[in-house]
Amino acid sequence: MDSLEIKGGAPLHGEVEISGAKNAVLPILAATLLTRETCVLRRVPDLADVKTMCQILESLGAKTKIEGDTVTVRAEKVRDFVDYDLVRKMRGSLCVLGQLLARLKKATVSLPGGCLIGTRPVDLHRKAMEALGAKVNIENGYIIAKARKLVGGEMFLGGRAGPTVLGTANAMMAATLAEGITVIEHAACEPEVVDLGKFLNSIGAQIQGLGSPTLTITGVKELGGAEHEVIPDRIEAATYAIAGVATKGEVTLKGARPEHMKAVIEKLRESGVKVEQSKGKLTFKRGRGLHSVHITTLPHPGFPTDVQAQMMAFMTQTPGISIITERIFESRFTHVQELERLGAEISIEGPSAIVHGVQNLSGAELMASDLRASAALVIAGMVAKGTTRINRIYHLDRGYERMDAKLKKLGGKVRRVK
């Protein structure tokens, strides 16, 4: 199992290419099961989760081919059973439920199990499938869905913490082949959901309202093939921007879309960061002084929960007190204890973390607990004096394409240790 060794104190400078979005490419890969025709996806990041999704597609009967950042999928014949051994590796694998049900009128998909960052129930997925006419049961750890046919209906997908992103994706995909019109109220508005919708429309679906809380989907009899380029990863972009300013450097993001990062850009500016935009590039650097900020994570277009941990690492370097409130996942502060090992001063009160800015952090051995927590520890390690060693970085490989190589290119003193 690999670790990451970081010698802190080196400011990051230079340009970094932003990869395709993990949270967009996974449901789009799953959506290729809706058609018998060939689909070609471009700007696909080299991630462990992408490889897992391709394994799931192949286990269902699809043929996949990876060439660089291009993935070709042809699902001429499809099976209806997804085993636990594959699903347990990745929560996003649940998004094969909708299209298997739409195409085969039956699906048996293993429940993905627990999640360290908080409960992620499947009740809204079940509600969506039942609104389309399916009978859904949970037996022996599997979701079993069956329908004589799927018929368009109306559904409300608001959950405890707002709309469900994966549930919206599942409902969209199932509704593309349902008879009649489906209306999804309180749908997720994330850019990754919009990108999925654009892919579905490119293969023949009829989806209106992308990017809004109301989606209207007119079912079609069959879908075809298409080529599609995945949007850039706004979470990866935010991570490198924060790493740059946290280390007193200057980082330029190549290919990032500022319209997808409005909340992050606004909070960085509020904290004293200068943001410049020109010719498809975004540059982030410190201003004359830093300021503490208050952040509350919310569904898009609010501040993304997937950037909360990275921002917390940065807030340890700002004078004063910052308050970060997590409204999406109830257990997404697992990085706090590890940041404290570096010398951070953070206290938890209910859903909020109170961060006191400190003069210095010092290197230590750390344990990564999840994907975004891992990124926060990397940022903190690059700020800290001395050497920091982060164990269990397989989490990073799930969501960041060659992070150690990109950081080295920016001047970071980072080494992957076997």
pLDDT per position as a tens digit, 344-363: 999 999 999 999 999 899 99
Q: Residue 151's pLDDT is what?
A: 98
Question: Based on the domain organization, do 210 and 297 belong to the same domain?
Answer: no
Is pLDDT above 70 for 384? yes
Average pLDDT over residues 92-118: 78
Nearest to 99 by CA among 69, 65, 128, 124: 128
Average pLDDT over residues 91-105: 86
Average pLDDT over residues 130-134: 97
Two tokens at 371? Answer: 């994907």
Question: Based on the domain organization, do 261 and 321 belong to the same domain?
Answer: yes
**What distance in Å separates the CA atoms of residue 25 and residue 46, rounded to the nearest whole number?**
11
Phi, psi of 18 (to 5 degrees): -85, 130
Q: How far is CA 411 from the centre of its chain?
A: 26
Question: Based on the domain organization, do 225 and 178 belong to the same domain?
Answer: yes
Query: Which range of residues forms the domain containing residue 102?
Result: 22-229
Two tokens at 171? Answer: 């409902």
Average pLDDT over residues 290-315: 97
Question: Based on the domain organization, do 211 and 238 belong to the same domain?
Answer: no
> Tell me, what amino acid is at 316?
T
Q: Which of 54, 95, 115, 189 is catalytic?
A: 115
Question: Based on the domain organization, do 94 and 173 belong to the same domain?
Answer: yes
Question: Based on the domain organization, do 216 and 294 belong to the same domain?
Answer: no
Is pLDDT above 80 for 2? yes
Q: Which helix (H) or strand (E) holds 266?
A: helix 262-270
Of residues 262 and 113, more confidence is placed in: 262
Say what the alpha-carbon torsion angle 157, 159, 162, 164 is, to the nearest 10 degrees.
-60
Residue with tokens 């932003």: 18
Band of pLDDT at residue 117, cut at 50, 70 and 90: very low
Q: Residue 114's pLDDT is what?
A: 42
Is pLDDT above 90 for 208? yes
Average pLDDT over residues 79-95: 75
Please report, rounded to a whole number, the percentage of residues in the chain having pLDDT higher than 90: 86
Answer yes or no: 115 catalytic.
yes
Residues 289-306: b if buried by 16+ CB within 10 A, e if exposed:
ebebbebebbbbeebbbb
Average pLDDT over residues 265-273: 98
Question: Based on the domain organization, do 148 and 295 belong to the same domain?
Answer: no
Note the pLDDT tens digit of each residue in 226-247: 999 999 999 999 999 999 999 9
Cis peptide bond prior to 11, omega within 30° of 0: no
Q: Residue 89's pLDDT is what?
A: 66
Percent of the chain as helix, strand, coil, to the nearest 5 = 35, 30, 35
**What distance in Å separates the CA atoms of residue 364 and residue 385, rounded to the nearest whole number?**
9
Computed over every residue of the chain, the mean pLDDT equals 94
Task: Enter the DSSP assignment of 354.
Answer: E
Among 185, 201, 229, the domain boundary falls at: 229
